[in-house]
């Protein structure tokens, strides 16, 4: 698979569902006093514990306003899977003063765009509006954050929307079914084993009170951050945040009990049968995660090297997996890719995947994927490959900063993961120090059978019934 990177997009690609963000306590990284970065971003702590992060960017008269919560599907309990995502939907269904559907109508009337997202690690809400209308959306968002309220009839309608979303995005998509089963097999104790959208039986049994309880429990100021980027004055934004968010009553953030994933003690393998035109294989290796960008542990250094290894394998046109598996007379795959899921509040994975070419098998693709990693472990990588990866990351990061959405997204991701505001710059600096020897060492260390789960899609005859069209990427969830 051909892929373009932004650095923190890489870090977060799979904590979203994709995403990925830390086994340390995030609060330990948060500043007690205002902090600032070279880019002008500033962070404040409101009186009730809510965080405020502001990034001025005067290039256009627009602003991005986001609310991030350090709560996602990993904070659910068995029997209520999907409740974090369902609550995201219900947040658009009203408050004490705003009737169902009115929130979105008001944002549109301001000339704005808005949406929301849920992942394993976090939930977020955003509006991009003319900067002159920032106060209007802050008033609206603070109101629904604290006073989300809707009749049971709204829940009964919306839960059917969520079920249909599950059918379209997962049950009708063979590779999505395989990914869901892969995570359910890879993880035993970790809540990452559950899908973000929830199991259908849990959605069937979910009640309005389940959703209200989840809101009361987790939507508290000390578990949230407001992020504003764009054509704004920092002092003005801080005054507005104090006015609309700072007055919300402080409440305790629920204690999170550790759910440590046991050490894997042997290869796990599953097969998934589904109507499909092509087979597919995905390999998930247990690897160390990235916890800090300050005083690095050995695991942090290995996580950095694994990020670089992934980029060497499939991070640019003509990277190693494409050349070895998808080109030339020995071609075995139509596509192949890698991902380093090395950030997150849960355990980390390194993923390899591929689609067999015509007359080739999933086993041949699996063998070829592992052979490329083994080749790195045996022969290493060149300085030229590392230089290309690092140059591309730098260029992608600069491009990302052209977007106020991208800036706000990165700042919010940093906060959720417990990273400093300038994590992007620090990570770039650290990645520049990764050596060919370190990449070779992690390729040799973390890709054995005892750390591996393999999922193979076995194509079945295609259903003759018309298939539902999957929602477009970025389509509103509500």
Asked whether residue 195 falls in the same domain as residue 308, the answer is: no
Asked whether residue 372 falls in the same domain as residue 240, the answer is: no
Q: Are 120 and 346 in contact (CB under 8 A)?
A: yes
Number of domains in the chain: 2
In the set 76, 88, 154, 180, the catalytic residue is 88
Residue 138 lies in a domain: yes
Asked whether residue 151 falls in the same domain as residue 194, the answer is: yes
Residue 214 lies in a domain: yes
Q: What is the pLDDT of residue 368?
A: 98
Residue 110 lies in a domain: yes
Backbone angles phi and psi of 420, in degrees to 5:
-70, 160
3-state secondary structure of 477: coil
Residue 437 tokens, joined: 């020897």
Residue 17 lies in a domain: no
Asked whether residue 293 falls in the same domain as residue 201, the answer is: no
Give the helix/strand (H/E) hosting 404: helix 404-417
Asked whether residue 276 falls in the same domain as residue 233, the answer is: no
Among residues 292, 223, 241, the alpha carbon closest in space to that of 43 is found at: 241
Residue 8 lies in a domain: no
Asked whether residue 238 falls in the same domain as residue 292, the answer is: no
What CATH number should be reported for the domain holding residue 281? 3.30.830.10
Asked whether residue 237 falls in the same domain as residue 336, the answer is: no
Asked whether residue 72 falls in the same domain as residue 213, the answer is: yes
Q: What is the pLDDT of residue 31?
A: 39
Asked whether residue 297 falls in the same domain as residue 223, the answer is: no
Find where tokens 């098998």 sit: 361
Q: What is the pLDDT of residue 288?
A: 95
Q: What is the pLDDT of residue 428?
A: 84
From CA 32, how far away is CA 34, in angstroms rounded? 7
Among residues 100, 13, 77, the alpha carbon closest in space to that of 339 is found at: 13
Residue 203 tokens, joined: 């959605």
Asked whether residue 323 falls in the same domain as residue 439, the answer is: yes
**Residue 177 CB partners (closer than 8 Å, separation 6+):** 170, 171, 272, 274
pLDDT of the chain, 478 residues: tens digit per residue:
333 333 434 333 333 333 333 233 333 333 344 576 667 899 999 999 999 999 999 999 999 999 999 999 999 999 999 999 999 999 999 999 999 999 999 999 999 999 999 999 999 999 999 999 999 999 999 999 999 999 999 999 999 999 999 999 999 999 999 999 999 999 999 999 999 999 999 999 999 999 999 999 999 999 999 999 999 999 999 999 999 999 999 999 999 988 899 999 999 999 999 999 999 999 999 999 988 777 677 888 999 999 999 999 999 888 999 999 999 888 999 999 999 999 888 999 999 999 999 999 999 999 999 999 999 999 999 999 999 988 888 777 777 777 899 999 999 998 998 888 888 888 888 888 999 999 999 999 999 999 999 999 999 998 766 656 555 444 445 5
From CA 427, how far away is CA 418, in angstroms rounded? 14
Residue 157 lies in a domain: yes
Residue 431 lies in a domain: yes
Length of the chain equals 478
Asked whether residue 238 falls in the same domain as residue 272, the answer is: no
Q: How far is CA 193 from CA 18, 77, 186, in A?
A: 14, 12, 7
Q: What is the pLDDT of residue 344?
A: 86
**Residue 358 CB partners (closer than 8 Å, separation 6+):** none
From CA 56, how far away is CA 252, in angstroms rounded? 31
**Residue 294 CB partners (closer than 8 Å, separation 6+):** 420, 426
Q: What is the pLDDT of residue 77?
A: 95
165: annotated active-site residue: no
Q: How far is CA 17 from CA 21, 57, 286, 298, 422, in A?
A: 11, 29, 18, 27, 24
DSSP structure string for 46-115:
-TTS-EEEEEE-TTSSEEEEEEEES--GGG--TT-TTHHHHHHHHTTS-BSSS-TTHHHHHHHHTT-EEE
**Radius of gyration for the chain, computed over Cα atoms and rounded to the nearest angstrom:** 22
What stretches of 148-207 show up as alpha helix (H) in DSSP? 152-166, 174-186, 200-205
Paired strand residues for 274:
459
Q: Are 85 and 162 in contact (CB under 8 A)?
A: yes
Give the helix/strand (H/E) hosting 252: none
Residue 161 lies in a domain: yes
pTM of the full predicted structure? 0.89
Paired strand residues for 340:
350
Structural domain containing residue 377: 268-460
Q: Are 282 and 182 in contact (CB under 8 A)?
A: yes
Asked whether residue 354 falls in the same domain as residue 216, the answer is: no
């Amino acid at each position: 698979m051909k892929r373009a990177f932004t650095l923190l997009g890489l870090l977060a690609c799979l904590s979203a569902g994709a995403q990925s963000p830390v086994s340390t306590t995030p609060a330990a990284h948060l500043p007690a006093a205002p902090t600032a970065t070279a880019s002008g971003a500033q962070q404040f702590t409101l009186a009730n514990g809510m965080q405020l992060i502001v990034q001025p960017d005067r290039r256009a008269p627009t602003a991005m306003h986001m609310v991030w919560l350090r709560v996602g599907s990993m904070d659910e309990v068995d029997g209520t899977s999907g409740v974090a995502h369902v609550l995201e939907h219900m947040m658009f269904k009203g408050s004490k003063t705003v009737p169902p559907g009115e929130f979105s109508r008001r944002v549109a009337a301001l000339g704005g765009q808005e949406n929301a997202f849920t992942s394993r690690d976090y939930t977020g809400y955003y509006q991009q509006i003319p900067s002159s209308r920032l106060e209007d959306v802050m008033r609206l968002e603070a109101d629904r954050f604290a006073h989300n309220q809707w009749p049971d009839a709204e829940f009964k309608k919306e839960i059917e929307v969520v079920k249909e979303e599950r059918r379209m995005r997962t049950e009708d998509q063979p590779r999505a079914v395989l990914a869901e089963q892969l995570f359910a097999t890879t993880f035993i104790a970790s809540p990452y084993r559950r899908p973000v959208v929830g199991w259908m039986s849990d959605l069937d049994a979910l009640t309005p009170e389940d959703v209200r309880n989840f809101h009361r429990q987790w939507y508290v100021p000390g578990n949230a951050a407001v992020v504003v980027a764009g054509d704004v004055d920092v002092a003005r934004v801080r005054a507005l945040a104090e006015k609309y968010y700072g007055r919300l009553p402080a409440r305790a953030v629920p204690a999170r009990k550790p759910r440590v994933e046991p050490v894997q003690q042997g290869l796990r393998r599953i097969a998934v049968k589904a109507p499909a035109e092509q087979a597919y294989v995905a390999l998930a290796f247990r690897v160390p995660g990235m916890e800090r960008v300050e005083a690095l542990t050995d695991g942090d250094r290995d996580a950095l090297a694994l990020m670089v290894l992934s980029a060497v394998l499939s991070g640019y046109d003509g990277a190693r997996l494409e050349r070895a598996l998808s080109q030339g007379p020995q071609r075995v795959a139509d596509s192949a890719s890698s991902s380093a899921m090395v950030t997150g509040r849960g355990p980390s994975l390194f993923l390899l995947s591929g689609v067999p070419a015509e007359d080739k098998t999933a086993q041949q693709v699996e063998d070829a994927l592992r052979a490329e990693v083994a080749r790195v472990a045996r022969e290493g990588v060149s300085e030229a490959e590392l230089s290309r990866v690092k140059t591309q990351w730098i260029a992608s990061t600069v491009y990302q900063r052209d977007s106020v959405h991208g800036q706000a997204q990165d700042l919010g991701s940093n906060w959720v993961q417990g990273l400093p505001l300038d994590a992007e710059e620090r990570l770039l600096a650290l990645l520049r120090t990764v050596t060919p020897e370190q990449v070779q060492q992690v390729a040799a260390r973390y890709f054995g059978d005892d750390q591996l789960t393999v999922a193979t899609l076995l194509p079945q005859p295609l259903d003759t019934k018309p298939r539902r069209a999957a929602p477009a990427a970025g389509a509103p969830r509500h």
